[in-house]
Amino acid sequence: MLFPTAEYAIFFLIVFAVGWSLRRPLRLHHAVLLTASYVFYGFWDWHAVPLLFSISLVSALVAQGLQRLTRPAARRALVALGVTLALATLALVKYLGFFAVGAVNLLTLLGVELTHLTLPEVMLPMGISFFTFHAISLMVDAYRGRIAVKVRVLDALLYVAFFPQLVAGPILRASQFLPQLTQPPDPNRIDASRAMELIVSGLIKKVLIASFLATHLVDPAFDAPHLHSGLEALLAVYGYAAQIFCDFSGYTDLAMGSALLLGYRFPENFRAPGLAESPRDFWHRWHLSLSTWLRDYLFIPLGGSRGRPTRTIVNLGITMVLGGLWHGAAWTFVVWGALHGGALIAHRLWSGSALGAVQKLRSARAWPFIARVLTFHFICFGWVFFRAPSLAVAGELLVAITSQWVVGAWLTPALAGVLGLGLLAQLTPPESLSPIRLRLARLPLPAQGLLMALIILCIEAAAPQGIAPFIYFRF
C-alpha cells in the first residue's frame, strides 16, 4: 500500500474518520490506530505481522520492567537481554544469508569445497530495521529514565507499529512519542495547512520528480552502465542524488502529514542537505532521525569522543560501517558506510589541523562554496555504491563516466528540468515554504481542502504510469 495511491487514500480516510470519531476513551482510540497499523503492514505481507507484534511486545514488557526495577545490576541485565533479543532477531532475519555467503566464499578461498550445500532463504520483512530501532529506543530510553510517562503495553505497541512511519521512518524516540499518547488528540490544535503542505510536497517529490528520474535516467544507467555514454552515466549519478532525496524526503513529508492529520507530530528528518559544507554537516542535515539515533545509541555508548583521538576515530569508523550495513546486507552498503566513516575521520583531522596552509584555506572567503561543491560530489560518489546492485556494477558505472560524452535524444528538456528541480530541492530549507503556508492558512478550511484536492488531481494527471515503492521500504 504505497502512500501516493488510491488504496492508501481510501485507507487513510477510513482511519481518519474512525480514529477521530473514537478518540475517547483513549485506549479505544489507540486500539483503532494499532489495528489500522497492523492492517497497513499486513497489506504488504501478513506473514510478517507476528514478528512485528513479537518484537513490539518484548520491548514493551522490558521497558515496563525497567521502569519498575530499582537495582542497577538487574536493570542492566534486563536491558542487555532485551536489546540482544532485538538485534539477534534482526541479524537472523536480515543478515544470516549475507554472513553465510561470506563464510562459504572465505572457505572456498582457503581451499575448502562445500558441495551440496544449500544456504537457507530467510524472509526479509518490510521495514524490519526501522521497527527494530524503535524497539531498541523504547528499551534504552526506559533504562536511561528518559520516558516521562508510564509505559503501557498498548501505547508501546502503537509506538513501534504506528503506520505512517512503520516501514521507512522517520525513526521516532519513545521519549518523544509516548507522551503524545497520554491525552486524546485535540482537533483544535491540528495544523491542517501544514499537513496539506507536507502531503502536496511529498507527492510532488515522489511522483513528479523521483519516479520520473528513476524511469528515464537512473535505472537504465545503473542496470547497464556499458550501454550509456559518459555524460549519461554522470547525469545518472547526479540523478540518483536527486532521486533518493526526493523519494525519501517525499515519503517523510507524507508520513509527517498523515500523522499530523491524526493529531501526532513527527521530528524533522531533512534540512537542506545540498547546503552541507562537510561530511559532518551532511549528517546534521540528512536523515536526522537515523544520524542522531546512531550517535545516541551507538557512537556515544562506544565512547564517543571522550577518549583519545585514536579511539574517537575508531568509534566513528565502527558507527558508520554498521550504519551502512544497517541499510542492507550487501558489500555495497558496507563500502558506502566505510566511505562516510573515512570522510568523517578525515574532516575531523582537517578541522583540528594546526597547519598554516590549512587554516588559511579554511578562512578564505570562497571556502564555504568550495566546501559545498566538494561535499556534494563526495556524497554523489558514495551514492554510486548505495544504488548499485553490486560492487562490480558500481565500478562499471564509474568507468563509464570516463567514456565518450555524447548528447543524445535521451537528454530531453523535461529530463533536464526535472533533474534541476530535484537537485534544487536539496538546497531548500523546510521553513522556506512557510510564507505560502501562512497565506493558505487564512483560507477557510473547506477552501484549503478543495485547493489540496485540485493540486492532487493535477499531480495525478501529470504522474507517470505506475509508482515504484519508496527506496527506503527495503531497509
Is 464 inside any structural domain?
Answer: no
Of the CA atoms within 13 Å of residue 86, those in its CB half-sphere come to 30
Clarify whether residues 133 and 210 are in a common domain.
no
Amino acid at position 466, single letter = G
Q: What is the pLDDT of residue 171?
A: 93
Q: Report the alpha-carbon distance of residue 239 to residue 244 in Å, rounded.
A: 9
**Mean pLDDT throughout 292-300?**
94
Phi, psi (5° rounding) for residue 382?
-65, -35
Quick check: helix, strand or coil at residue 262?
A: coil
Residues 267 and 141 in one domain: no
Do 237 and 153 lie in a common domain? Answer: no
63: in domain? yes
User: Over the chain, what is the mean pLDDT?
Assistant: 90
* Catalytic-residue membership of 327: yes
Domain boundary among 389, 406, 425: 425
Average pLDDT over residues 385-402: 95
Q: Which helix (H) or strand (E) holds 447?
A: helix 445-462
| Active-site option among 327, 340, 347, 377 | 327
Which triple of cell numbers denotes residue 244? Answer: 533518493
Return the C-alpha cell found at 231: 555524460
pLDDT score for 115: 65
Per-residue pLDDT tens over the stretch 441-472: 777 877 877 887 888 888 877 777 767 778 88
| pLDDT for res 471 | 82
Of 395, 425, 455, the residue at which a domain comes to its end is: 425
CB atoms within 10 A of CB 388: 22
Res 95: pLDDT: 81
Distances (CA, A) of 381 to 314, 394, 413, 418: 23, 10, 25, 21
For Cα atoms 284, 474, 416, give the angle at the middle one, nearest 5 degrees: 65
Q: Is the bond into 225 cis (omega within 30 degrees of 0)?
A: no
Q: Clarify whether residues 218 and 181 are in a common domain.
A: no
Q: What is the pLDDT of residue 404?
A: 86
Do 159 and 264 sit in the same domain of this protein?
A: no
220/161 same-domain check: no
Looking at residue 324, its pLDDT comes to 94
> Is residue 460 in some structural domain?
no
CA distances from 39 to 59, 157, 232, 240, 256 (A): 21, 14, 42, 32, 19
Residue 183 identity: Q
Q: Mapping DSSP to helix (H, G, I), strand (E, B) and coil, where does residue 402 land?
A: coil
Structural domain contains residue 461: no
| Candidate from 33-42, 50-59, 183-192, 211-220 with smallest mean pLDDT | 183-192
What is d(CA 384, CA 240) in angstroms, rounded to the nearest whole number? 8
What size, in residues, is the chain?
A: 475
End-to-end C-alpha distance for the chain, whole angstroms: 16
Per-residue pLDDT of 324-372, as tens digits, reads: 999 988 899 999 999 999 999 999 998 888 888 888 888 889 999 999 9
* 433 domain-assigned: no
Could you tell me if 168 and 19 lie in one domain?
Answer: yes
The rounded radius of gyration (Å) of the Cα atoms in the chain is 23
Residues 301 and 163 in one domain: no
Task: Give the pLDDT of residue 114.
Answer: 67
Residues 45 and 165 in one domain: yes
Q: Give the pLDDT band of residue 58 (cuts 50, 70, 90).
A: very high
Q: Note whether 357 and 276 are same-domain residues.
A: yes
| Within a domain: 453 | no
Question: Which structural domain range is residue 161 located in?
Answer: 6-185
Q: Amino acid letter at 252?
A: T
> Do residue 304 and residue 370 come from a single domain?
yes
Flag whether 462 is in a domain.
no
Average pLDDT over residues 248-273: 93
Give yes or no: residues 179 and 206 share one domain: no
- Of 161, 185, 209, which residue sits at a domain end? 185
Checking if the pLDDT of 116 tops 70, the result is: no
Helix ranges, 262-355 (H)? 279-282, 288-294, 300-302, 309-327, 331-351
351 in any annotated domain? yes
Domains of the chain: total? 2
Is 262 a residue whose pLDDT tops 80? yes
Q: Could you tell me if 371 and 278 are in contact, meaning their C-beta atoms sit under 8 angstroms apart? A: yes
